[in-house]
Amino acid sequence: MHLENLVLRQFRNYKEQELTFDNKVNVFLGENAQGKTNLLEAILLLAVAKSHRTTNDKDFISWDAESAKIEGRVEKHGQSVPLELTLTQKRQES
C-alpha cells in the first residue's frame, strides 16, 4: 500500500496544498518552520487518526478557519482507495 496523493485544506500552516507522491521514494526539503513536520503529521492523522504532537483538534486548524480537511488516496491491491478526515473546532451538541 502506498499514498498516491494528499490534499490539505486549512491544516496548520497549509491553506490549500495538493501533493502527488511517487510510489518509491519521496523527499521533503525545506527551511526550518516551513511545514515538513506538519506534512508528515497530516499523513499520520489520515492513516491512524492520531497525532504524535497533540490530541486537540483545534491545534490542527488554521487560525482563521473553522475546520481543516485532509484528503488522500492510497493504492491497495491495485485499487485506489479514498481517505478523508475533517477536523472541526466546535463540538457537536447531543
Fold classification of 2-88 is Rossmann fold (3.40.50)
Tens of pLDDT along 23-38? 999 999 999 999 999 9
- For 40-68, give one letter per residue: b (16+ CB within 10 A) or e: ebbbebbeeeeeeeeeebeebbbeeeebb
> What is the model's pTM?
0.87
Is the Cβ–Cβ distance between 6 and 82 less than 8 Å?
no
pLDDT tens digits, one per residue of 60-74? 999 999 999 999 999
Domain ranges of the chain: 2-88
